[in-house]
């Protein structure tokens, strides 16, 4: 009986302090110091509609845009997930073969691996700089702009996420596409 | 490769250094009895909160009884909150009712500090369920493990075990809460959301609607990592860009996974008053974990075999199921660290790891002691110590002793029961599910990898880990009931048996150590302990490994 009573009292105390107090403090700090990040890093259009989140990939299929990595959940940001296919899976080979066909990759001009591999959550907002350059020609043609302009944009936007610890530079697909619409309107 | 080495040194080396002052602090917080601990003000506050049962020092039976009683209350509270979530507030996206066996599985999972998830957070759970049921258990279930370790260490030091209700509050309020607050605030600034608004609905540049789930994520993720819980706010856990947005959030989370388990070893050393012994244990654990990290990074630099025949660049490692922003070494390092510690969060999909890389996390869960879950990892190591001391004693023909306590048949029996129950749950469970539709009908991959999915799931449940080869369609009544039961048994058997051993030791006279006593503070003992862990693990699990990951590797060997 004493055990039950003490357990209940500690349950109430930990609920109040760890669920109510702790969550409240973290929430208040987030909303006060970094409200943009705390609300999900949303990007809004001038008219106030939400375009997406900087941190979350969205689908791109039109030729004038950079395309993100494949997504096992079709970029569903309300039900994310990976393919969970093993390296011995023929399903994975078939899926990658389709991607290869979409990009028209050849043994002479192979597809950068990140464009063939789905990410863990299917929402990876980045592609490698190499994967962006791989798409530059298609984008330049679709937008009828010189390829140098697209390449320049890639060079400007590419960053190393972990400094010297990550030699492969990345670009954010959604931010690049917004920049394309702004600077290289078709 | 040089970046990978630097990354490992930064994470593992840095955390090992930080664990030293943390161990000191944890000793201060958890063990006021020795004179230099927390001021009595805290103790009286915790007595005021906890009420009558906090008054007396407990023997092992009383301590275990209190521990189990508290866990029953934890179970009932969580079960009720989950079962009623559709009627309760803080549910802006209108999440509906959960199925019965899923509620049982989820409750068992979070009570047992496992966080195996047969649901997907952003699909199934209301914010109230996430915070008041699941995150609450992430605090208190971790505290239960830490309390049990403190009690074990006090017993080995020849003292009374202490009082469970005081220990669980010390662990919650003095150890976990301040650390979680620091980590949560740091996570906020890397871009982890913290909002009570429902999902955002976006209209993408190509004019399609995209619903973006969010929520009070930062608070949840901090304790998920620190408490070796591992249950993600979102389904794909820390691969999700809103749960783990940047390279640096990933570094912070990897450190958070392992820092308290490392600190536990030093706390144990301080309470038993044998820091040299703790240093030996720490080294053994570091070596066992380091070996798996090396293996995982090496195996994962191979590109996925699925792309071998296609015109795809083959000069980067296996990227399927991985995020680019964390860098190449982050996936395999995390995969090992999260299974070394019974955390079970993931930053890459383990199902898509190369076969031998996928074996490394499984080995971590099979051994389950380097560094293990908060509190319970060190307790598991104690079981191996008892066996190692016993074997060493037999080899040199002396009565086995540990810290002056005579280890006799009863203690060794309890230790072996603890260690063998682990293999029993994993192997028997896997065998049953491999030959029945319960398992076979739920696979996402065929052949040896399908077997690996079943093996991994039972390993994860029995190790109270919580990660998975997530392709497995595990939200079925059979999986929910089987793993839910295994998680509870595998949680409490290895807590009760070691405390029973200490209870048995307490009835004996403690011998003074002489020059003839086998030292537990030197390299010989470190070697003996390592060999014991490896041999017990290999004898139990090697046959199963050959049927799963090893067979899969051999299948496409050139």
- Asked if B73 and A30 come within 8 Å (Cβ–Cβ), the reply is no
N-to-C CA span, chain A: 76
Handedness of CA B192, B198, B204, B208 (dihedral sign): positive
Averaged confidence pLDDT in chain A: 95
Residues of chain A in contact with residue B206, where contact means CB-CB under 8 angstroms, are 58-62, 65
Average pLDDT over residues B165-175: 96
Q: A67 and A14 in one domain? A: no
Whether B216 has a pLDDT exceeding 80, the answer reads yes
Q: A145 and A55 in one domain? A: yes
Chain A touched by B326 (CB under 8 Å): yes
| Residue span of the structural domain in which A12 resides | 2-38
* Block residue for tokens 């506050």: B45
Whether A159 has a pLDDT exceeding 90, the answer reads yes
Chain B touched by A143 (CB under 8 Å): no
Q: A109: how many CB neighbours lie within 10 A of its CB?
A: 10
Residues whose CB is less than 8 angstroms from the CB of residue B21 and which lie 6 or more positions away in sequence, other chains included = none
Q: A106 and A31 in one domain? A: no
Percent of chain B with pLDDT over 70: 99
Beta carbons of B221 and B187 less than 8 angstroms apart: yes
Percent of chain B with pLDDT over 90: 88
Q: A94 and A68 in one domain? A: yes
CA gap B112, B491 in Å, rounded? 6
pLDDT in tens, B514-556: 777 888 999 999 999 999 999 999 999 999 999 999 999 998 7
Burial of B6 (0-12, 13-18, 19+ CB in 10 A): middle
Residues of chain B in contact with residue A120, where contact means CB-CB under 8 angstroms, are 236, 239-240, 321-323, 346-349
pLDDT in tens, A70-127: 999 999 999 999 999 999 889 999 999 999 999 999 999 999 999 999 999 999 999 9
Helix (H, G, I), strand (E, B) or coil at B7: helix
Q: Tell me what pLDDT residue B37 has.
A: 66
- Asked if B325 and A122 come within 8 Å (Cβ–Cβ), the reply is no
Q: A89 and A12 in one domain? A: no
Window B:165-194, CB contacts with A under 8 Å = 165, 168-169, 172-173, 176-177, 180-181, 184-185, 188-189, 191-194
Which pLDDT band holds residue B558 (cuts at 50, 70, 90)?
A: low
Q: Tell me what pLDDT residue A8 has.
A: 96
Structure tokens at B472: 């497995």
Beta carbons of B231 and B106 less than 8 angstroms apart: no
Q: Which residues pair with A126 in a beta bridge?
A: A172
Q: A109 and A33 in one domain? A: no
Whether B34 has a pLDDT exceeding 70, the answer reads no
| Phi and psi angles of residue B406, each rounded to the nearest 5 degrees, phi first | -80, 125
Q: How far is CA B497 from CA B29, B206, B407, B492, in A?
A: 25, 60, 14, 8
- Asked if A120 and B236 come within 8 Å (Cβ–Cβ), the reply is yes
pLDDT in tens, A40-52: 999 999 999 999 9
Q: A128 and A157 in one domain? A: yes
Q: Please name the residue of chain B whose CA is at the shortest distance from the CA of residue A44.
A: B202
Q: Tell me what pLDDT residue B55 has.
A: 83
Q: State the total domains in chain A.
A: 2
Percent of chain A with pLDDT over 70: 98
pLDDT in tens, B475-491: 999 999 999 999 999 99
Chain A touched by B518 (CB under 8 Å): no
CA gap B255, B242 in Å, rounded? 19
Least confident range from A46-55, A171-180, B512-521: namely B512-521
Q: A173 and A128 in one domain? A: yes
What is the DSSP secondary structure assignment for residue B191, as one 8-state letter? T
Q: Tell me what pLDDT residue B418 has.
A: 95
pTM above 0.80, yes or no: yes
Whether B356 has a pLDDT exceeding 90, the answer reads yes
Averaged confidence pLDDT in chain B: 94
- Asked if A161 and B246 come within 8 Å (Cβ–Cβ), the reply is yes
Give me Rg for the CA atoms of chain B.
23
- Asked if B239 and A121 come within 8 Å (Cβ–Cβ), the reply is yes
Q: A77 and A25 in one domain? A: no
Dihedral angle over CA of A18, A19, A23, A25, nearest 10: -50
- Give the number of C-alpha atoms closer than 13 A to the C-alpha of residue B508, restricted to the C-beta side: 20
Question: Where along chain B do its domains lie?
Answer: 373-555
- Asked if B313 and A97 come within 8 Å (Cβ–Cβ), the reply is no
Q: Tell me what pLDDT residue B35 has.
A: 57
Question: For the stretch A148-178, what's the b/e string if a residue is b when 16 or more beta carbons lie within 10 angstroms of its beta carbon?
Answer: ebbbebbeebbeebbeebbebbbbbbbebbb
Q: Tell me what pLDDT residue B343 has.
A: 95
Minimal Cα–Cα distance from B522 to chain A, Å? 36
Average pLDDT over residues B370-380: 95
Q: A88 and A12 in one domain? A: no
| ipTM of predicted assembly, 2 dp | 0.96
Chain B touched by A25 (CB under 8 Å): yes
Q: Please name the residue of chain B whose CA is at the shortest distance from the CA of residue A63.
A: B206
Q: Tell me what pLDDT residue B41 has.
A: 80
């Amino acid at each position: 009986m004493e055990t039950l009573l003490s357990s209940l009292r500690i349950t109430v105390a930990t609920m109040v302090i760890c669920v109510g107090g702790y969550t409240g403090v973290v929430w208040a700090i987030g909303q006060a110091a970094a409200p943009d990040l705390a609300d999900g890093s949303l990007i809004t259009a001038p008219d106030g509609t939400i375009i997406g989140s900087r941190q979350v990939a969205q689908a791109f299929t039109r030729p004038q845009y950079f395309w993100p990595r494949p997504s096992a959940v079709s970029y569903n940001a309300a039900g994310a997930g990976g393919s969970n296919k093993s390296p011995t899976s023929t399903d994975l080979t078939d899926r990658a073969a389709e991607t290869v066909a979409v990009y028209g990759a050849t043994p002479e001009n192979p597809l950068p691996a990140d464009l063939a591999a789905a990410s863990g959550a299917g929402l990876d907002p980045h592609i490698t700089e190499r994967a962006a350059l791989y798409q530059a020609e298609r984008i330049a043609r679709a937008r009828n702009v010189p390829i140098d302009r697209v390449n320049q944009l890639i060079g400007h936007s590419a960053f190393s996420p972990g400094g010297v610890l990550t030699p492969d530079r990345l670009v954010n697909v959604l931010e690049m596409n917004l920049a394309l619409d702004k600077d290289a309107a078709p | 490769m040089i970046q990978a080495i630097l990354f490992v040194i930064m994470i593992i080396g840095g955390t090992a250094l930080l664990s030293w002052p943390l161990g000191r602090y944890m000793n201060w917080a958890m063990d006021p009895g020795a004179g230099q601990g927390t001021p009595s003000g805290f103790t009286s506050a915790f007595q005021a909160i906890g009420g009558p049962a906090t008054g007396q020092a407990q023997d092992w039976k009383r301590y275990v009884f209190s521990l189990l009683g508290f866990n029953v209350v934890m179970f009932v509270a969580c079960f009720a909150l989950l079962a009623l979530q559709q009627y309760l507030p803080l549910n802006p996206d209108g999440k509906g009712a959960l199925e019965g066996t899923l509620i049982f599985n989820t409750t068992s999972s979070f009570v047992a500090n496992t966080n195996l998830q047969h649901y997907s957070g952003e699909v199934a759970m209301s914010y109230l369920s996430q915070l008041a049921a699941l995150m609450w258990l992430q605090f208190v279930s971790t505290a239960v493990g830490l309390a049990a370790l403190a009690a074990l260490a006090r017993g080995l030091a020849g003292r009374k075990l202490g009082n469970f209700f005081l220990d669980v509050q010390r662990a919650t309020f003095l150890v976990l809460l301040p650390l979680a607050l620091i980590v949560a605030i740091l996570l906020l600034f890397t871009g982890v959301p913290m909002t009570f608004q429902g999902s955002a609905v976006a209209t993408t540049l190509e004019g399609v609607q995209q619903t973006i789930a969010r929520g009070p994520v930062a608070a949840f993720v901090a304790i998920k990592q620190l408490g070796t819980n591992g249950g993600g706010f979102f389904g794909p856990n820390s691969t999700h860009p809103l749960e783990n947005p940047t390279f640096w959030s990933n570094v912070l989370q990897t450190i958070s996974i392992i820092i308290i388990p490392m600190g536990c070893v030093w706390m144990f050393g301080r309470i038993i008053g044998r820091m040299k012994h703790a240093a030996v244990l720490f080294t053994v654990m570091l070596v066992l974990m380091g070996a798996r990290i090396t293996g995982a990074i090496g195996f994962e630099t191979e590109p996925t075999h699925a792309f071998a025949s296609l015109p795809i660049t083959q000069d980067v490692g296996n990227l399927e199921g991985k995020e680019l922003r964390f860098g190449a070494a982050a996936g395999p390092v995390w995969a090992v660290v999260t299974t070394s510690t019974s955390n079970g969060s993931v930053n890459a999909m383990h199902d898509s790891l190369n076969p031998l890389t996928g074996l490394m996390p499984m080995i971590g869960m099979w051994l389950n002691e380097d560094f293990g879950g908060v509190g319970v990892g060190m307790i598991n190591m104690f079981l191996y110590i008892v066996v190692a001391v016993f074997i060493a004693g037999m080899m040199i023909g002396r009565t086995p002793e540990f810290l002056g306590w005579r280890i006799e048949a009863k203690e060794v029996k309890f230790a072996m029961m603890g260690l063998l129950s682990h293999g029993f749950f994993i192997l028997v469970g896997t065998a049953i599910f491999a030959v029945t539709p319960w398992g076979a009908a739920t696979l996402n991959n065929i052949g040896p990898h399908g077997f690996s999915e079943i093996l991994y799931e039972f390993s994860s449940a029995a190790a109270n880990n919580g990660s998975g080869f997530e392709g497995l369609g595990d939200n079925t009544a059979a999986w929910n009931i089987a793993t839910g039961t295994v998680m509870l048994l595998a949680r409490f058997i290895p807590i009760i048996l070691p405390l029973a051993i200490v209870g048995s030791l307490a009835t004996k006279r403690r011998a003074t150590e002489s020059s003839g006593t086998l030292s537990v503070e030197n390299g010989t003992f470190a070697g003996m302990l390592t060999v014991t862990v490896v041999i017990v693990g290999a004898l139990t699990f090697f046959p199963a490994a050959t049927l799963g990951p090893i067979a899969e590797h051999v299948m496409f060997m050139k």
